[in-house]
Structure 1
Amino acid sequence: MKFFFLFTMALSTLLSKAEETAMLNFTNGDRLNGSLVKMSGDDIFWKSALLQNEAKFFLQQVQDITLPFFDTPQQNIDHVAHIRFNPDLRQQNENLPSDIIRGQLVAVNADNIILNTWFAGQLTINRNMVKDLEIFDIATPIYSGPSKQDDWKILPESSWEWELNRYIRRSEGMISKTFATIPERYCLSFVGEWKNDLNIKLQFAASDVEEETQNGYTINFNSGTTYLQKRSRDQQGSGLIGDYTRYPALRSKEKSVFRLFVDTSTGLIAFFSDADLVQQWNDTNKPYLSGKSIQISQPNGNTTPLTISRIVLSEWDGILPEQENGLHLNSINNPDPEKDEQRIHLRNGDILLGKVHKIENSEINLTTRFNEIKLPVSRIKKLALAPNEYDERLLQNGDIRAWFHDGDYVTFRLEEITADGKIKGYSQHFGTATFNPHAFSRLECNIYPLPGKK
């Protein structure tokens, strides 16, 4: 009861400061937009244009409250580190993704990892609880949105609805955007949410939808089967590229971060769901298409609900992300690490075996089997940090799951909301931290099922 009161007070403070309406999401799937009036005990009072008067709901009926979207502030950094924690007991049992937190890598020593973040300042992370660390170059987004309804063209106008910085499909139609410029190599990412089977068509490197003659690539994903088609004005190389591929993993999901990597100079195309490669293609028939339009739709006749949000277009360095389950190493050239060694993946594709001593001043100090070396952090792509002792987070009453806008989340025990609306929480991963609520898309409560319930 104490946690519910604290959680309701926290959300009341947060949402009273929001500049846009929030969304109340119920456990039975119903949704209601509007604004929070107040919370008292186990009740939530909600005001909406759809209701004549403010309404009261039981908090236990609420799955989460979606928070308004805010742009990420510009940061003067040259890399971003993704820290993935060891899975806790529930994540292991239910095959859930681990907590992930991102920031600029400041230092690594025997006990801790120091991370600078825009949303929580400097965090000191327990190294024994970290599974691995991945480092990415920073690419300034060419586009990030949607931030307003007309960011993308909706055809026909009634087919998609814009709500809380996301597009929701209501009937047959598409969302389309033609960019002024698109890099030779680029990455398009977006968050997709659906019910039951996922059915989606993603057209890219395409001509504008209003041009008389259409061309472009189209990825079709229908109930776990994916394939790529090419349509060219001169019909050169038009048709199916590669084979049909089965990807059943999405059958157990209703949300994913999708990433499309395109190299218009070589014809390389790759499609990822979260950290998994769904399929990779190579267009062997020139000319490679390089149109500036991107379109998202569903196959005609499909009625599956679909929501698209957090669309980001950015330049890509041409190096595909590493796949945890797809790494095939030569056993002679890449032997298994010995005790206290880590496998270190460099950005140029090389792999080192060594022991990481520390990271400071943007340099990594390590000992290989041959000598001691220093490398700039920006040259590292991924490394597994061998802990002195494996440790994982314990499940605690009062835990909430705070979802970042990119689809990752972090779990912590909510402690209080500060006077300026910040979220203060505690986790065994990083101790006590104070978060800027603009970092999160939603706060999820009731994250541990009661006995006998799923």
Structure 2
Amino acid sequence: GSFEGLDAKSGIIWNHPYVSPRLIITPSHVKHIQFGNNQNPGRAKKHSSKITLVNGDGLSGDLIGLKDGKLTLNTWYSGEIQIEQSAIKSLIPGFTALKTFYEGPNNVRDWVFYDASSGKLIKELEPDSNASELEAKTRQINTAQGTWRFNEGALEAKYSQARVGRKFKEMPGRARFDFDVEWSGYMNLYVNFLTDRMDSYSTGNSYCLRLNTSYAYLYRYTRRNGVGGGRNMGSNVRINLNQLGNRARVSIRVDRGKGIIALYINEKFLKKWEDAQKNEFPKDAHGLLFTSMSSNSVTINNISVSEWNGSLPNEKNITLDNGKEDFILFVNEDSVSGNLLSIQEGSITFKTSFAELPIPLKNISQINLARPNEKLNAPKGSVRAVLKGNTGSLTGLISGWRNGKIT
């Protein structure tokens, strides 16, 4: 049915096509409401900064400043909002000179789709293809039985061995591949990166992250003189993705010069693999390929390919971040502890034991705020709202929900 609104006193207002009058449901009896894939409004945008709160909630926005213990964000979904500094666990400013090569998908033009039910490959369109050709390709993949489908900026699959990928004209020596993934039940997803094949995960040259809801493995595939082979890159890492609510932000980071591949889930470092052979890939191995290895539903969106600064967590950073003081991790992996005083005009004022420092935000990778002495508990009757595309979440009390707006 369709959600119509929520009244704090009477309950949830719900329309069903075969039930009259409208249903009024007591909120305490509702576990979860999943909203349909409504089209994003025209003002929707991707924000640069990410805020994590002490209760695990997170928000994205454009950072305006911090003054008198309050952080101000400008968001497309709620305008300017203020957050108490004491409620913030960490801040990723997002001010960086690193280049982004791709963000999407916005359409299917440059994507290659493999229909596992027919063995047919639906190739990318020519650069000068017109709108009718793009519409025809979208219709073709969305009516095929065994391939990924495109729906409002997301790629969706419900067929084992369905593949979708694309190549990029250039690829830096240190790169990161980021995407949001959402699944139902059990997920089993293969992600080939730095690949030269769009029709197979195992017969070309590439790295392949095998990711399921319990483990992550890394393989490297090579093909020389018509002979191919694959090898496990080392030990796996045990994870429990279903604890994350069936959605996660995955980040694969690669330093080809050093042969290092790192995996992050929801910005948390999980595993580093090292490729001891460091053999060069072919010059055209600039592709990214997703293969669904399960018939369960899986959705991928918010894909980005960008430069990576090459920094990884180390013992030094873990030791210095004691939680008693504010902590800055710089893009070059240096760090400093002290007291965050303010943020304005692209710079922060940070007080240390030896000086009060002005620091440009572009030099900062992450700021961890001192942990509060008292535990902050959500009020009784609170709900947790997850924003579309896994771009954030908020916990609080709903006082009203009318005409498409929530308070």
Letter of the aligned partner of 2:304 in structure 1?
A: L
Percent of residue pairs identical? 16
Letter of the aligned partner of 2:196 in structure 1?
A: S
Residue aligning to 1:217: 207
The answer to whether the 8 Å contact 2:191/2:289 transfers is yes
Q: 1:233 Cα deviation (Å)?
A: 2.0
Evaluate the alpha carbon distance shift between residue 56 and residue 183 of structure 1 in structure 2; reply closer, same or farther with a 3 A threshold.
Answer: farther
Size of the aligned set, in residue pairs, is: 363
Residue aligning to 2:316: 329
Residue aligning to 2:162: 174
Where does the alignment leave 5 or more consecutive residues of structure 1 unmatched? 10-39, 48-52, 88-97, 426-454
Residue aligning to 1:43: 14
2:234 partner SS: strand
Equivalent residues in 2 for 1:3-42, closer than 5 Å: 6-7=5-6, 42=13
Residue aligning to 2:252: 260
TM-score with structure 2 setting the length: 0.74
Are residues 1:201 and 2:185 paired? no
Determine which of 102, 105, 111 is the counterpart of 1:145: 105
Distance 2:386 2:406 in 1: 12
The answer to whether the 8 Å contact 1:189/1:310 transfers is no
Evaluate the alpha carbon distance shift between residue 8 and residue 400 of structure 1 in structure 2; reply closer, same or farther with a 3 A threshold.
Answer: farther
Residue aligning to 1:188: 177
Are residues 1:308 and 2:299 paired? yes
**Aligned Cα root-mean-square deviation (Å):** 3.9
Determine which of 348, 360, 368 is the counterpart of 1:376: 360
Q: 1:352 Cα deviation (Å)?
A: 0.8
The answer to whether the 8 Å contact 1:152/1:176 transfers is yes
Distance 1:179 1:335 in 2: 40
Q: 1:245 Cα deviation (Å)?
A: 1.5
Distance 1:125 1:61 in 2: 28
Evaluate the alpha carbon distance shift between residue 67 and residue 383 of structure 1 in structure 2; reply closer, same or farther with a 3 A threshold.
Answer: same
Evaluate the alpha carbon distance shift between residue 363 and residue 265 of structure 1 in structure 2; reply closer, same or farther with a 3 A threshold.
Answer: same
Q: 1:388 Cα deviation (Å)?
A: 7.6
Where does the alignment leave 5 or more consecutive residues of structure 2 unmatched? 117-143
TM-score with structure 1 setting the length: 0.67
Letter of the aligned partner of 2:50 in structure 1?
A: H
Equivalent residues in 2 for 1:51-450, closer than 5 Å: 60=30, 63-70=33-40, 80-87=48-55, 98-137=56-95, 140=100, 142-145=102-105, 147=107, 151-156=111-116, 157-162=144-149, 164-165=151-152, 166-184=154-172, 185-210=174-199, 214-222=204-212, 224-234=214-224, 239-250=230-241, 252-253=243-244, 254-289=246-281, 291-299=285-293, 302-303=294-295, 305-320=296-311, 328-329=315-316, 334=320, 336=322, 341-386=325-370, 390=374, 392=376, 394-395=378-379, 397=381, 399=383, 401-415=385-399, 421=404, 423-425=405-407
Letter of the aligned partner of 2:360 in structure 1?
A: P
Distance 1:388 1:274 in 2: 23
Evaluate the alpha carbon distance shift between residue 247 and residue 320 of structure 1 in structure 2; reply closer, same or farther with a 3 A threshold.
Answer: farther
Q: 1:42 Cα deviation (Å)?
A: 4.2
Q: 1:152 Cα deviation (Å)?
A: 4.7
The answer to whether the 8 Å contact 1:241/1:281 transfers is no
Distance 1:73 1:195 in 2: 29
Distance 1:245 1:335 in 2: 28
1:356 partner SS: strand
2:224 partner SS: coil
Distance 2:382 2:243 in 1: 27
Distance 1:250 1:385 in 2: 26
Q: 1:234 Cα deviation (Å)?
A: 1.8
Q: 1:354 Cα deviation (Å)?
A: 1.5
Give deviations 1:11-59, integer Å, cap 9, x for gaps. xxxxxxxxxxxxxxxxxxxxxxxxxxxxx97432349xxxxx9998775
Letter of the aligned partner of 2:145 in structure 1?
A: S
Distance 1:353 1:400 in 2: 32
Evaluate the alpha carbon distance shift between residue 108 and residue 143 of structure 1 in structure 2; reply closer, same or farther with a 3 A threshold.
Answer: closer
